[in-house]
Amino acid sequence: LLKVRSGTSLSDALAEAPRYFPPLYVSLVRAGEASGHLGPSLAELATMRERTEALRSKLNSALIYPVVLLLTALGAVTVLLTVVVPRMEPMFANAGAALPTSTRIVVAAADLVREQGLLLLAVLAAVLFLGERLLRRPGPRRTFDRWVLRLPLIGPLLRDRMTAQLCRGLATCLGGGLDLPQALGVSRDILGNLHARAVMDDVITRVRTGRTVADSLAQGAILTPLAVKMLRVGEESGRLQPVAAHLATTFEERVATRLQRLVAIIEPATVIVLGFVVGGIVMSILTAVLSVNELAL
């Protein structure tokens, strides 16, 4: 506020605080100032922000239950291996009989967790740390991002989310007064996938040389074919901005629907896997106990 009062433009003042105002915000405000339509630009920015936060809230809400379920499963298995099984081992040892194969596997796993648990945790933490550091490098991160897009269930979901983000940014930028190459450049920065960003660089270059957006995006193959077809219709009819806005809304809803379906698959799958693991541990213990009792009789 003080900088604006001292004569600095609003866009320049926002650019000096990149932690709170991303390049997209600054570009839209600067375009609004240059065109004399700052109010509509801010309105477009507010709309995009609201929809982005709404989609992020849906994603976070849908992932809470699977994460809690997974943590519960890990906790249950840990308690069985570190508390229950060790208490049963003396009885198995005093019986003097050969234990069933499943029981020997469970006892070996319990011994490994109890004796080498801290080492395993340290190794896991080191692997995660090194992986996180490796993914900070552009080359490995771009390869990883390209690979993630090819996964069976996660890939289509991420592709739909990128489509929603790119179309929302494109519609907002065009509505805020930016020209097409600038709008594509600002929309590119919204994407978190480095492979998609690299593809968008090529798309922007093709657009600057006279190619259409739809043809350039089709060659990049980062958006869904339906979105590319709709953008082509928008270009040919001169309604690229409203078509992009409609696509953004459609794919935001599609992402929420796909995520709900994915969670609906993950939840029972996690319960089934947990049932097999916990049930297998319990059954192996009960089998050994029954074997010991039969020998005692």
Q: What is the pLDDT of residue 98?
A: 67
Mean pLDDT lowest among 85-94, 148-157, 264-273:
85-94
Query: Which backbone phi and psi does 131 adopt, to 5 degrees?
Result: -65, -40
Mean of the pLDDT values across residues 203-222?
A: 85
297 pLDDT exceeds 80? Answer: no
Please tell me the distance from the alpha carbon of residue 38 to that of residue 26, in angstroms, as a whole number: 12
Mean pLDDT of the chain: 79
pLDDT for the residue numbered 292? 62
- Judged against a pLDDT cut of 60, whether residue 152 lies above it is answered with yes
- What mean pLDDT do residues 40-61 have? 75
Q: What is the largest CA-CA distance in the chain?
A: 95
DSSP letter, residue 97: S
Could you say which DSSP state residue 80 is in?
A: I
Are 168 and 248 a contacting pair, CB within 8 Å?
yes
**pLDDT tens digits for 89-129?**
777 666 666 667 777 787 788 888 777 778 888 888 899 88
Main-chain phi, psi angles of 86, to 5 degrees: -60, -30
Answering whether pTM is above 0.75, one says no
| Mean pLDDT, range 142-165, rounded to an integer | 85
Dig out the tokens for 43 from the structure.
Answer: 């309105």
Residue 4 confidence (pLDDT): 66
Please give the pLDDT value at position 170: 83
Cα–Cα distances in angstroms (integers) from residue 186 to residues 18, 171, 207, 216, in the given order? 14, 11, 14, 17
Secondary structure string (H, E, C) spanning 104-143: HHHHHHHHHHHHHHHHHHHHHHHHHHHHHHHCCCHHHHHH
Contacts of 278 (CB under 8 A, 6+ apart): 73, 76, 77, 80
Give the Cα separation of 45 and 41 in Å (integer): 6
Cα 20 vs. chain centroid, distance in angstroms? 22
Whether 177 shows a pLDDT value over 80: the answer reads no
Q: Hey, which bits of the chain come out as E strands?
A: none
CA distance 17 to 7: 17
Cβ-in-10-Å burial (0-12, 13-18, 19+) of 250 comes to middle
